Copies of this chain bind each other. A is one copy, B any other.
Amino acid sequence: MSARQVELIELAESLIENFGLEAFSLGNLAKKANIRTPSLYKHFSSLMELEHIIISRGFLRFAKDLNHVIETAASDSDEDNIAALAAAYRAHALAHPQIYRLMTERPLDRALLIPGSELAAMDALLQYFDETPEQHDRARAAWAAAHGLVSLEISGRFPPGANIAGAWGVFIEAFSR
């Protein structure tokens, strides 16, 4: 991955976060980079490829974030651990809401992802749970609940004045023990 490529990827990421996922286009990226649209094809074979690089980087950053929290906040209390993980999940998603949307809303072509990036995010998320099949179900239900809470919040689906932290509290309590 050349330096110029990384430059353009970061430009694209800032474009997405600052102007919304809907503004993500090669035309807008080229404009921000002060080059013509077709020149972008010297660095990426297609929009899909660039998109999946950004998604992969999102997965990896997500994994790093969660792993950091898990390492520094490991407590004896099950509820504390779940709460810390939940808080980290929400904080990360709300810090990068448009890229979170990109990561979760688009049909995923796994052949275009940076190998292992999706798994890294999953592992970071699920490592807290044991390896029994029953715990796998529990892990996936918890993941889904966190994703649902975050995704409804990002897309503004909770009524104004809704106590979102309260809903997170219910979720944490329901999944502790």
Contacts and interface: CB of A to CB of B under 8 A. Distances in A.
Interface of A: 22, 101, 104-108, 122, 133-134, 136-138, 140-141, 143-149, 151-152, 155-159, 162-164, 166-171, 174-175
Contact of A137 (B138, B146, B157, B169): B169
A158 B144 CA distance: 10
B107 A157 contact: no
Contacts of A156: 107-108
A137 B163 contact: yes
- This protein's copies in its complex: 2
Nearest to A176: B174
Contacts of A22: 107
Contacts of A174: 141, 174-175
A16 to B, nearest CB: 14
Contact of A155 (B107, B164, B167): B107
A158 B138 CA distance: 13
A147 B152 contact: yes
A27 to B, nearest CB: 18
11 contacts: A105-B105, A133-B166, A136-B162, A136-B166, A137-B163, A137-B166, A140-B158, A140-B170, A148-B149, A148-B151, A174-B174
